[in-house]
Amino acid sequence: MPQRFALMITPVDAADARDDYSDTFAPMDVEAPALSVGEFSTQRGDGVFESIGVIDGHANEVEAHVQRLAHSAEICDLPAPNLEQWRQAVATAATLVPAGEAVVKLILSRGVEHGPAPTAWATASPAPDFAAVRRGGVRVVTLDRGYDLDAARRAPWLLLGAKTLSYAVNMAALREAHRRGADDAVFVTRDGHVLEAPTASLILRIGDEFVTPAPSGGILHGTTQLSVYEHLESRGFRTRYATLTASDLAAADAAWLVSSIRLAVAITAVDGAPLASDPALTAELNAFLLSPR
């Protein structure tokens, strides 16, 4: 059975209210040519995407992901996606992967110049094995993001808060973290406030309270962070959003990077200084995140 699949999607108007969108999906061999050489997603990174965790054929946090896809599309002046079409695309793609952990990625591109519609597709593939990092955690370095906390409000054309295909900076940050002997990075504003990791949200534990940077600072509102908060609140913990500094991170009682595929990983060091972790809670969070939601 093939391990990786692609599903080309013919986008329909957001107001289209049919019950079945299966005729707008076309399964593709991932090795077959499918995009024009003029496609803006590959030429310019001009598009948005979502990565959804799948456990034994069940896609998690689907609604949060399709809603965020729509939010990113709005920020980028892309046509509004038909959410029910994308929900059905996720359900179709999730059935194509073998049992175990997998990932469905949704891509909505501006398409080609003067094209009739956006280009859209979904991919489905087994997820990388993150068992070891979930147990052992990651060492992070703080890296200057190059703007202050108010940049998203002051300069909306920077598309801060949209999950765009332009991930060159994110990947460069990970390479820089590796050059500094760390596993991952946490972005910090020019005025000293922590934001997020290149591919994950940040959660701090301060006493019995859990805090994450407020999304108003131009960061993605993490779907996994929302799920973690839901679980923590069900356990009686207090959760909140706040403006946090690099000093808050260094002084936290524990901290995690959370994302849809890697799930929850403890931060064990910040800029070379050890940080306390909570292996039991980390294991509990991952058991919850691996359950159907």
Q: What is the pLDDT of residues 77-107, one digit of tens each?
A: 999 999 999 999 999 999 988 889 999 999 9
Label residue 30 by pLDDT band (50, 70, 90): confident
CATH number of 206's domain: 3.20.10.10
Domain that holds residue 242: 131-289
What distance in Å separates the CA atoms of residue 29 and residue 286, rounded to the nearest whole number?
32
- Choose one of 64, 99, 126: the last residue of a domain: 126
Instruction: Provide the number of structural domains found in the chain.
Output: 2
Q: Within this chain, do residues 49 and 158 fall inside the same structural domain, yes or no?
A: no
What mean pLDDT comes out for the span 180-205?
A: 97
Whether 9 and 87 map to the same domain: the answer is yes
Residue 219 has pLDDT above 50, yes or no: yes
CATH number at residue 55: 3.30.470.10
One domain, residues 135 and 83:
no
Domain end position, chosen among 106, 126, 146: 126
162 with 221, same domain: the answer is yes
What is the rounded distance in angstroms from the CA atom of residue 215 to the CA atom of residue 161? 8
* 39: Cα within 13 Å, side-chain hemisphere: 17
- Indicate whether 191 and 213 sit together in one domain: yes
Q: Read off the pTM.
A: 0.93
Residue ending a domain, choose from 71, 104, 126: 126
